[in-house]
Amino acid sequence: MDGKRVNIIAVISVITLVMLIIVARVTLKLSKAFFLFVGAGVAVILGVFAYVLVSKRYDSRRRLLESQMKSEGQELRIEYSFLRKVAGVPIKFRYKELEEATDGFQALIGKGASASVFKGILNDGTSVAVKRIDGEERGENEFKSEVAAIASVHHVNLVRLLGYCNAPKAPRYLVYEYASNGSLDGWIFHKRVSERRHGGCLSWNLRYKVAIDVAKGLAYLHHDCRSRILHLDVKPENILLDENYRALVSDFGLAKLIGKDESQMVVSAIRGTRGYLAPEWLLEQDISNKTDIYSYGMVLLEIVGGRKNVCLEEDGRDKSKRKWQYFPKIVNEKVREGKFMEIVDHRLLECGGVDEWQVRTLVYAALWCVQEKPRLRPSMAQVVDMLEGRVSVELPPETRMVLVDFLCSDASATDSSSMRGLDFVWSQRTQSNVECSSTYSFATTVLSGR
């Protein structure tokens, strides 16, 4: 019984007995019946006091035990959480914890097609990035892929998964370490100040360091994990920079795990981002670690040039018109002419400090990575050796970039038929797994006949 109710009942009982004794004294006077009634009443009052004392003692002991159990349980949870962190095992968070950490999911720091990222601070003061995966079917698949891919990997250049919240229904949440300098795209591309959350112009030395960091992270996924992991969406938006501008490969929502003894795997639909997709996505249905290497090569070119691989530029002959330009093709032409410094982001040239040997190394490595034939591309371990100077980087064979040039030709902005062609092939592969036969036949014939 509740302690407060016991006290109330005891007080009412004692008052009632005292009043009855007074009434008995008036009516029965000092008769034998009166003394019998008084004795019984006093005995009951003493019994009530004894019950209250025992009840209070019991309640105090119960509260003490509950407090001890709660304290021990909290210590066990803290110790368990600590051990999980030490072991690198993701922690399961409650939705309420994440809601409080992100102040009701107010601080939006990034948004994608099926996910949003919010900044949060946990109870222990740790800054985190909380990724909310929206959608039912796609969200469940991305959630499982991302947890499976990154939960068991630990590398200084891979973003660390701290925990997750697997609600019965969408959305689901992934909790990552927070990278204070945001994603790489804000530091290499020209963006208006109003569009930036983090960014600026990354110096040449830091760009070269980022290139090596990303290569090491991908090399770990490809070669050093128990199961080989293919990222399948390598791009500047998925490369984060911490407070020391160390690069962290992130966003494993499209990742695939394959066995060490497997060299390729079949995927039913295109995965990744246009502009970074390897030609084999459109020519074949099997992928390998060489698919990530192609995407990495595209990122290298963007790091050097400070511009997107496919973008709209003003037409030199008619300023009122703009046309699509494919930057890797321009780089290829400049390399053949020996004009390496014309490839570099002009903002870096204005500041100075650009090492031409490093430019040559990055560009050569990038062109090796974007070879149309997968067998010609180096492994990520070889790329790391190239960038760190352990292996000399020779001029790669000329790649005609037939397929991408066909799909991203120099069309005007008003007549973007080539880009519509890319959209057509994309939708055919993504929605129905039926390839565009004319594009497939054309590209296969040209590539095989080189």
What's the pLDDT at 102?
94
Q: Are residues 287 and 231 in the same domain?
A: yes
Q: Are residues 218 and 99 in the same domain?
A: no
What's the pLDDT at 335?
93
Q: What's the farthest any 2 CA atoms get from each other in the chain? A: 130
Q: Show which of 178, 211, 226 is a domain's final residue.
A: 178
* Structural domain contains residue 295: yes
* Structural domain contains residue 77: no
Q: Show which of 147, 178, 209 is a domain's final residue.
A: 178
* Enzyme catalytic residues: 233
* Structural domain contains residue 78: no
Q: Are residues 252 and 338 in the same domain?
A: yes
Q: Are residues 210 and 347 in the same domain?
A: yes
Distance in angstroms between the alpha carbons of the first and the last residue of the chain:
90
* Structural domain contains residue 65: no
* Structural domain contains residue 428: yes
Strands 265-266, 286-287: pairing kind: antiparallel
131 annotated ligand binder: yes
CATH of the domain at 232: 1.10.510.10
Q: How far apart are CA 155 and CA 148, in angstroms?
A: 15
* Per-residue tokens: 45: 């009052």
What single DSSP character describes residue 428? I
Nearest CA to 247 out of 221, 209, 299 is that of 209
Amino acid at 252: F
Q: Are residues 248 and 313 in the same domain?
A: yes
CATH of the domain at 130: 3.30.200.20
pLDDT digits (tens, 9 = 90+) for 6-62: 778 778 887 888 888 787 777 777 777 777 877 888 888 888 888 888 888 888 888
* Structural domain contains residue 45: yes
Nearest CA to 241 out of 298, 205, 187 is that of 187
Q: 161 pairs with which residues across the strands?
A: 176
Name the pTM for this structure: 0.71
Q: Which residue has the tokens 């697997």?
A: 166
Pair 322, 413: CB distance under 8 Å: yes
Q: 117 pairs with which residues across the strands?
A: 110, 131
Q: Are residues 268 and 250 in the same domain?
A: yes
Distances (CA, A) of 72 to 67, 77, 84, 87, 91: 8, 9, 18, 22, 20
Q: Are residues 197 and 223 in the same domain?
A: yes
Q: Which residue has the tokens 């004795």?
A: 39
* Structural domain contains residue 325: yes
195-214 in b/e form (b: 16+ CB < 10 A) is eeeebebbbbebbbbbbbbb
Q: Which residues of the chain have pLDDT under 70?
A: 1-3, 73-88, 135-146, 148-149, 168-170, 192-199, 253-254, 257-272, 284-285, 314-320, 401-450
Enclosing domain of residue 162 = 85-178
Nearest CA to 425 out of 436, 416, 415, 417 is that of 436
pLDDT digits (tens, 9 = 90+) for 367-415: 999 998 899 999 999 999 999 999 989 988 887 766 554 544 444 333 4
Q: How far apart are CA 342 and CA 363, in angstroms?
A: 12
Q: Are residues 53 and 147 in the same domain?
A: no
Quote helix, strand, coil % in the chain, to nearest 5: 50, 15, 35
Pair 217, 248: CB distance under 8 Å: yes
Distances (CA, A) of 308 to 270, 312, 321, 399: 21, 9, 19, 19
- Which is it for the CA torsion 354, 356, 361, 364, positive or negative? positive
Q: Are residues 342 and 226 in the same domain?
A: yes
Pair 190, 247: CB distance under 8 Å: no
Q: Are residues 111 and 38 in the same domain?
A: no
User: What is the four-CA torsion angle of 149, 151, 152, 158, rounded to 10 degrees?
Assistant: 80
- Residue positions counted in the chain: 450
Between CA 134 and CA 143, with CA 138 as vertex, the angle to 5 degrees is 70
Pair 399, 372: CB distance under 8 Å: yes
Nearest CA to 108 out of 129, 125, 139 is that of 129
Report the number of distinct structural domains present in the chain.
3
Nearest CA to 251 out of 281, 277, 214 is that of 214
* Structural domain contains residue 73: no
Q: Are residues 312 and 357 in the same domain?
A: yes
Q: Are residues 378 and 424 in the same domain?
A: yes
Q: Which residue has the tokens 């079949």?
A: 266
Q: Show which of 156, 178, 200 is a domain's final residue.
A: 178
